[in-house]
Structure 1
Amino acid sequence: MSTPSPTRISEALSADCRSRLMELAHEVNFEEGTRLFREGGHADAERVRTLMDADTAFGSALGHWVGQVLADRLQAARVRLLDLYAP
């Protein structure tokens, strides 16, 4: 039996939090090779940050989820590096 990943947005955030994020979402398309971010630049997330500041419970839940995603990805990268370079 597998347990749901805590980094899945559907498992980590309540339905209310997810619906608030979806209200801001819109579909975008990029040509192949398009650079989405530049080093030192900022992602376009002002509306999300405004929501997080206005509702501390929402902000805490979203911040915790993002932190968990980053921690999981860093751990996965560490394991891959150990597999490649460990004696």
Structure 2
Amino acid sequence: MTSTTTRAAGLPAEHRHRLMRTAREVSFDAGTRLFEEGRRADRFWIIRTGTVTLDLHVPGRRAAVIQSLGPGELVGWSWHFPPYTWHLGAEAMSPVRAWEFDADAVRAMCAQDAEFGRAIAVWVGNVVADRLHASRIRLLDLYAPYGSGSLI
């Protein structure tokens, strides 16, 4: 988990509190699909407890698990960028409790308050960068002849 991708580290307190006022508590059983790649991204979550995996559709193969997310992490960033469709899939790997947010409502809040919108954009941008890096490393590990080449 990268600190800039968590709710606490990713947003200044004022904006975090404002965002959290729109949250609703939800739970998912292990094995529940939160979303599928290519479908409409109309909400997002911050994990309270449990683990969610992100996966990538690989034609002719099982979906490749790209990253596991835990407490405090944002699940879903595709809601923030047109055309608002999921770029990955997500599944609860254990029972999950989370805060759920309506994407339309949060985008409207961003449009009404430029400072809030910038804070959300920076936070989501950091998450996208983290996910891109994780995806690259994982795909190299899965498909490159010598893995990621990491010495660690």
**Category of TM-score, reference length = shorter chain:** 0.7 to 0.9
Within the alignment, does 1:48 sit opposite 2:97 as a pair? no
Q: Report the TM-score, using the length of structure 2 for normalisation.
A: 0.48
Distance 1:40 1:83 in 2: 27
Identity %: 51
Unpaired runs of at least 5, structure 2 = 43-101, 146-152
Q: 1:80 to 1:30 in 2, by over 3 A?
A: closer
Superposed CA deviations along residues 13-67 of structure 1, whole A, max 9, x for unmatched, are 1110010011001112346665544634241412111110111011011011111
Q: Please point out which of 51, 61, 80 is paired with 2:119.
A: 61
1:72 corresponding residue in structure 2: 130
Structure 1, 57-66 or 32-41: larger mean CA deviation: 32-41
Give me the CA root mean square deviation: 2.1
The AA in structure 2 aligned to 1:58 is F
Unpaired runs of at least 5, structure 1 = none
Q: Higher helix fraction: Structure 1 or Structure 2?
A: 1
Q: Report the TM-score, using the length of structure 1 for normalisation.
A: 0.77
Q: Please point out which of 6, 11, 14 is paired with 1:13.
A: 11
Q: 1:36 to 1:8 in 2, by over 3 A?
A: closer
Matched position secondary structure for 2:142: helix
1:23 corresponding residue in structure 2: 21
Matched position secondary structure for 2:24: coil
Aligned residues: 84
